[in-house]
C-alpha cells in the first residue's frame, strides 16, 4: 500500500526534530537521497556521473536548500553543477556547500539570467527545487517564464532528465492541482512520505516515477491523507471463497441495467459480475434484454421482479437503464433501500435527488466520470445541498476536492473515474488508483467496472471486517470505499494484461478472471 501525507502532516511530524536542532541533519538526509536518485538517472542516461551537466533550479526556501545540498554532492562526484537562483536569495548553507564543492550559481534576475533556459535545455539532468511544501500557488515571474521557455524549447521525446525535489514546482503538494507552467518530472523524490499531490490528478501525470526517501520521522506521521492499493494489497484483500462457502454466502449481485435502447450495458455489466467471481448474479429488466442476458451469460438468473421481491447482497443500478419507467422504478427502490449498491450512469441523477431528500440508503457507491460528477454537483447545488458547483473543467482541475464534496453531501462513496480514479468516502477516507491502460477509455468499460464492483460489494456487504487485514481504517462503512478501490484496481490491471492494446469491455471481463487467477 502506498500511503501519502499532506505537507502539513509531514511538517508536524518534523517539528520535534527541528526543536531538538535536527533540522540540518534532516535536510542532509533528504538531499543525500535526492543526490542518489540523480546519480542513478545519470548512470542510466550516460553511464557515469562525472562530467555530467547538472542544473539545479533553486528557490528561496528549504526545497531549494535540498536541491543545493544534492547539487554539492553531485559536484563532489565530478558533475558540473550550476544552480539557477529563481528568487532573491538562496538557502545560505546549501549555497555555501555547493560553492565549496566547486558548483556555480547564476541569478535568474541578474545579467546572466537570459541564458538560463539554454543552460537548462543543454543539461543532462535538471533538479527542480524551486517550490516544495511551502509553496503558495505555482511558479511566478521570472521562474514561470523560464519554465515556459524551457517547455517551448524542449525537443519531442528528448531533453534533460528532470528530477523533482519533493514535488514538481507548481503541483500542489496536498491537492495535485496544477498551477501555471510545470516542468514534467521523470522522477519525483519526496521526503518522509509521498505527498498526496503526487497520487492525485491532474498533478500525478507530471510527477513521473515516485521515490520516497525515509527521514526517520515516519513513526511520528499520522494516518495518511491518501492511500493507494498495490497489486499485493489486491491479492491479499480480494474476497475469496473458503471451504464452507456457498453461492449465497459469497454474495448475490442484483443488476438493474439495460433497456430496449441500450441492452448491451446489461450484457457487459452482468458478464463482468460473473467473471469477477460473484456467488450468483440476478438481472432485472425488460423481456428482450433479459433474453439477451441469458443467451450471453447463462449463469445469470433474469426476471421481471421488483428489487423488493428478491434478496441480494448488493445491487448495481444504472448502466443503460434509461427511458424505461419500470427500470426507473426499480432504481428508486434500490436507492432508498438498505442494501449496498453501485450507482452508475443513468441512476446518478436519481441518487442526487434521493440524497437531497435525505432518502439515499446506506452503502451506496456512486461511479461518475468528471462530466457526470459536475452534473451531480449541479443537481445537489440546485436542490440546496451544496453551495456551489463547478463545471466539468473545475472537477478536472480539483478532482479530489469535488469527489470528497459529493461524498460528504450525499453520504455515499464517490468513485470519480479517470486515468487516476479518485475514491472518496463520506467520512473523509481517500484512495486513488492509476492501474488502467489508456485503452480503457472506451464505451462499455464503465459497465464492466460496475459489474466487477458489484461482485466485491456483495462479498463484503454483510462483513464489516471484510478488509480488516488492511488496517482498522478499512473497517465498517469504509469497507465500501475499499471494495470500490479493489474493483478499480483489478479492472485497471486487467486492461494491461498481455501488453497495451485495445481491450473491448467483454474481453476485459475475461481478463479480470485472469488477473484474479494470477493473484490467487
> Of 55, 56, 59, 280, which one interacts with ligand LZDS7PUF (CB under 6 A)?
59
Return the residue of 169, 187, 327, 495 that touches K ion, per CB under 5 A: 169
| Closest to ligand LZDS7PUF by CB, 60 or 506 | 60
SS3 (DSSP) at 388: coil
Based on the number of CB atoms within 10 Å of its own CB, is 511 exposed (0-12), middle (13-18) or buried (19 or more)?
Answer: buried
Is 58 annotated among the ligand-binding residues? no
Instruction: Give φ, ψ of 179 to 5 degrees.
Output: -110, 105
Note whether 168 binds ligand LZDS7PUF by CB under 6 A: no
Task: Give the start-end residues of each E strand in 327-473.
Answer: 341-343, 364-366, 413-416, 421-424, 430-433
Segment contacting K ion by CB under 5 A, of 126-134, 328-336, 358-366, 386-394: 126-134
Our CA dihedral for 323, 329, 332, 336, rounded to 10 degrees, sits at -170
Interface size with ligand LZDS7PUF, residues (CB under 6 A)? 28
Q: Which does 169 bind (CB under 5 to 8 A by kind): ligand LZDS7PUF, K ion, none?
A: K ion
| Angstrom distance (rounded) from CA 424 to CA 402 | 9
Of the candidate residues 165, 171, 273, 453, the single one contacting K ion (CB under 5 A): 165
Site mask for K ion (CB under 5 A), range 55-94, x = bound:
----------------------------------------
Counted residue by residue, the chain has a size of 520
Among 55, 215, 339, 483, binds ligand LZDS7PUF (CB under 6 A): 215
Q: Would you say 503 and 511 are in contact if contact means Cβ atoms under 8 Å apart? A: yes
- CA distances, 1 to each of 226, 234, 433 (Å): 10, 9, 11
**Please, which residues have CB within 8 angstroms of residue 256's CB and are 6 or more apart in sequence?**
284, 285, 307, 315, 316, 317, 318, 321, 327, 330, 331, 334, 347
Measuring CA to CA, how many Å separate 516 from each of 88, 240, 451, 486?
56, 10, 15, 11
Binds ligand LZDS7PUF (CB under 6 A): choice among 137, 216, 287, 323: 137
Site string for ligand LZDS7PUF, 173-192 (x = CB under 6 A): ------------------xx
Please tell me the distance from the alpha carbon of residue 416 to that of residue 296, in angstroms, as a whole number. Answer: 29
Q: Which of 128, 166, 286, 398 binds ligand LZDS7PUF (CB under 6 A)?
A: 166
Which of 65, 186, 258, 426: binder of ligand LZDS7PUF (CB under 6 A)? 65
Task: Tell me the binding residues for (6S)-NADPHX.
Answer: 62-66, 132-138, 166, 265, 320, 369, 447
Residues that bind ligand LZDS7PUF in the complex, under the rule CB under 6 A: 10, 14, 26-27, 30, 59-66, 87, 131-138, 140, 165-166, 191-192, 215
Amino acid at each position: 500500500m502506498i500511503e501519502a501525507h499532506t505537507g502539513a502532516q509531514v511538517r508536524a511530524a518534523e517539528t520535534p526534530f527541528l526543536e531538538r536542532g535536527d533540522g540540518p541533519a534532516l535536510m542532509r538526509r533528504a538531499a543525500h537521497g535526492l543526490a542518489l536518485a540523480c546519480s542513478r538517472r545519470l548512470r542510466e542516461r550516460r553511464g557515469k556521473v562525472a562530467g555530467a551537466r547538472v542544473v539545479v533550479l533553486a528557490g528561496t526556501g528549504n526545497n531549494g536548500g535540498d536541491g543545493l545540498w544534492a547539487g554539492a554532492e553531485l559536484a563532489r562526484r565530478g558533475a558540473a553543477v550550476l544552480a539557477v537562483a529563481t528568487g532573491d536569495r538562496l538557502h545560505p548553507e546549501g549555497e555555501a556547500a555547493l560553492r565549496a564543492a566547486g558548483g556555480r550559481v547564476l541569478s535568474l534576475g541578474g545579467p546572466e539570467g537570459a541564458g538560463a533556459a539554454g543552460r537548462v535545455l543543454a543539461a543532462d539532468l535538471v533538479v527542480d527545487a524551486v517550490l516544495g511544501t511551502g509553496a503558495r500557488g505555482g511558479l511566478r515571474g521570472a521562474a514561470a517564464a523560464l519554465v515556459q521557455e524551457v517547455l517551448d524549447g524542449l525537443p519531442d521525446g528528448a531533453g534533460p532528465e528532470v528530477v523533482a525535489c519533493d514535488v514538481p514546482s507548481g503541483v500542489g503538494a496536498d491537492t495535485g492541482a496544477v498551477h501555471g507552467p510545470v516542468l514534467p518530472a521523470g522522477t519525483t523524490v519526496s521526503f518522509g512520505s509521498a505527498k498526496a499531490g503526487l497520487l492525485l490528478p491532474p498533478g500525478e501525470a507530471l510527477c513521473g516515477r515516485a521515490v520516497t526517501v525515509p527521514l526517520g520521522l515516519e513513526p511520528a506521521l499520522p494516518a495518511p491523507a491518501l492511500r493507494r492499493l498495490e497489486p499485493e494489497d489486491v491479492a491479499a484483500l480480494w474476497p475469496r471463497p473458503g471451504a464452507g462457502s456457498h453461492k449465497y454466502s459469497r454474495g448475490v449481485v442484483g443488476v438493474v441495467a439495460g433497456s430496449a435502447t441500450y441492452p448491451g450495458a446489461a450484457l457487459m455489466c452482468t458478464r463482468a459480475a460473473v467473471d469477477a467471481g460473484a456467488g450468483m448474479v440476478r438481472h432485472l429488466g425488460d423481456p428482450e434484454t433479459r433474453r439477451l442476458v441469458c443467451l450471453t451469460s447463462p449463469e445469470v438468473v433474469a426476471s421481471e421482479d421488483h428489487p423488493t421481491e428478491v434478496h441480494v447482497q448488493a445491487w448495481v443500478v444504472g448502466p443503460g437503464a434509461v427511458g424505461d419507467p419500470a427500470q426507473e422504478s426499480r432504481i428508486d427502490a434500490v436507492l432508498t433501500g438498505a442494501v449496498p449498491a453501485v450507482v452508475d450512469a443513468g441512476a446518478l441523477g436519481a441518487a442526487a435527488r434521493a440524497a437531497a431528500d435525505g432518502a439515499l440508503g446506506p452503502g451506496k457507491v456512486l461511479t461518475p466520470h468528471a462530466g457526470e460528477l459536475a452534473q451531480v454537483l449541479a443537481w445537489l447545488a440546485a436542490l440546496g445541498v451544496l453551495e456551489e458547483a463547478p463545471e466539468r473543467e473545475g472537477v478536472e482541475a480539483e478532482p479530489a476536492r469535488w469527489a470528497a464534496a459529493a461524498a460528504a453531501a450525499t453520504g455515499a462513496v464517490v468513485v470519480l473515474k479517470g486515468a487516476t480514479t479518485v475514491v472518496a468516502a463520506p467520512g473523509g477516507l481517500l484512495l486513488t488508483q492509476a492501474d488502467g491502460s489508456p485503452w480503457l477509455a472506451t464505451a462499455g468499460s464503465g459497465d464492466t467496472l460496475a459489474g466487477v464492483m458489484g461482485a466485491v460489494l456483495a462479498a463484503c456487504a454483510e462483513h464489516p471486517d471484510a478488509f480488516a487485514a488492511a488496517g482498522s481504517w478499512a473497517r465498517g462503512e469504509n469497507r465500501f470505499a475499499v471494495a470500490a478501490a479493489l474493483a478499480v484496481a483489478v479492472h485497471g490491471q486487467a486492461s494491461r494484461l498481455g501488453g497495451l492494446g485495445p481491450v473491448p469491455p467483454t474481453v476485459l471481463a475475461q481478463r479480470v478472471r485472469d488477473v484474479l487467477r494470477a493473484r490467487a
